[in-house]
Amino acid sequence: MNNEREDENLARLIQAGLGKAARPDPVAREEALHRLRSELQAQHAPAVQSRTATNASEARSFEQGARRFGWGHSTKHKENRKETIMSKLFTRWGFGLTAGAGAVAVVLIVLLASPGGNSRAAEVMAKGARALAKLSSVHLRGQLRTPPQDNFAAITPDQAFVPIEMWKQFTPELKWRVEKPGRTAVMDGQSTILFIKPDYALKVPHPSASAFDTQWFQQMADLSQALERELAAIKAHGWPVSVTSEQGADGKAKSVITVEAKSGLRDSDYLKNAFFMTADTRRVYVFDNQSELLEAVKIYLHGASGEQLVFELNQIEYNQPLDPGVFQLQLPANVSWKQDMQVLPDNAKYAAMTPEQAARAFLEACGREDWTEAAKFMSPVAESFKQDRGGIQVVSIGKSFTSALTLIGGAHFVPYEIKLKTGEAIKHNLALKKDGRTGRWFVDGGI
């Protein structure tokens, strides 16, 4: 067997996006893939094993790997180095090694050497990632089952769909806006603001690539990197993946990739299936075969009562001019801004409280409408909150518990039952976290 010739064919195959015309015969392909996998593991294992690193670490790792393959080395060094199949991919065949595209390439190569349907999925997703390499802006519109004012990442299967939308500008300066009916987050290039209707706001005094639990949606907006992450997750976790072909409503051929994603949390965990990062889901990606662009996404939740559609992305606009006003947020005059917790004269008393004691002290303060006391656990206490929770009756306080996920962030959940002034009874779990500066519990949700 002529290894040099088959290596050339395999390099052409990957560069061509695995088009059928470029495929070597099956036996030669398997032998070449075996050599490729061995060489990849020997020369580039750190890049494949560091998928949980930060983007900056990924870039550095890949640049180091690229140098090991000879990319960016001097001409003299290249002449003295034996040319391998990897060097053909990254030099002669010009795979286009930006940090992001390079990571896609590495994961793609590993998946190609894996059995089953993963190679076909890798082909389609890598094409989509390459097609989006020069994205300047994107506008996404979809719908999500979630309360309008709740966390951007929250999933509530029994809720009706609400619209969720994102505008993201990549060049010349990164800016973005994520919005649903009761909550808006905007990064204007200088600062990042969260507004929860009607009168609560939080400001981060610097730009942020993602904030306020918009990361899962931000990843969809940065579609090239999102596909890279999905490829890496498929390989790392062994998630089942399948690819089918179908004809779209526009009469064009489509490739449909289905990924079965698992969170790893026990079914008994409180936060299981409450957020995208804690959910077991079936993710369906639809690509147009001609443009190679992603056209739609559907996410189904695997719950105790069966499978349910919880998110649908049905409009994606690429590289369209965005109105600069989209990145400007108009706030009401009576908005209450979140403040950092301050050390109190009797701070030690509050710092010594258990989660149950803190929950009771906060809720009873709301019942007395003692907003100075309530503000020791939640800042600010907005006017709308005072109207909704003022004068409540505390019926019961339960024993606190944690989640496998919140053990990392230190959150405790305290079951409670209250009765509003209207007579409505509410049972929920108050989320509390410890403030690092004061050592006091503060309300992080569930109210």
| Domains delineated in the chain | 3-113 (no CATH), 137-327 (2.50.20.10), 339-445 (3.10.450)
96: number of Cβ within 10 Å: 13
CA–CA separation, 39 and 44 (whole Å): 8
Q: What's the rounded mean pLDDT across residues 33-41?
A: 48
Which of 212-226, 315-329, 371-385 is predicted least confidently?
Answer: 212-226
- Please provide the average confidence, as pLDDT, over all residues in the chain: 76
Whether cis (ω within 30° of 0) applies to the bond prior to 198 is yes
Q: Residue range 55-70: average pLDDT?
A: 36
Task: Pick 142 or 265 by higher pLDDT.
Answer: 142
Characterize the bridge pairing of strands 200-204 and 336-337: parallel
Q: How far apart are CA 442 and CA 340, in angstroms?
A: 11
Give the pLDDT mean for 20-49. 45
Q: Using 50, 70 and 90 to split pLDDT, how confident is the model at 421?
A: very high
Query: Identity (one letter) of the amino acid at 69?
Result: F
Mean pLDDT is lowest, of 149-153, 186-190, 288-292, for 288-292
Buried b (16+ CB within 10 A) or exposed e, 337-376: eeeebeeeeeeeebbebebbebbbbbbbbbbeeebeebbb
Q: Assign 275 a pLDDT band (cuts: 50, 70, 90).
A: confident
Average pLDDT value for residue range 410-432:
94
Give the other-Cβ count within 10 Å of 194's Cβ: 21
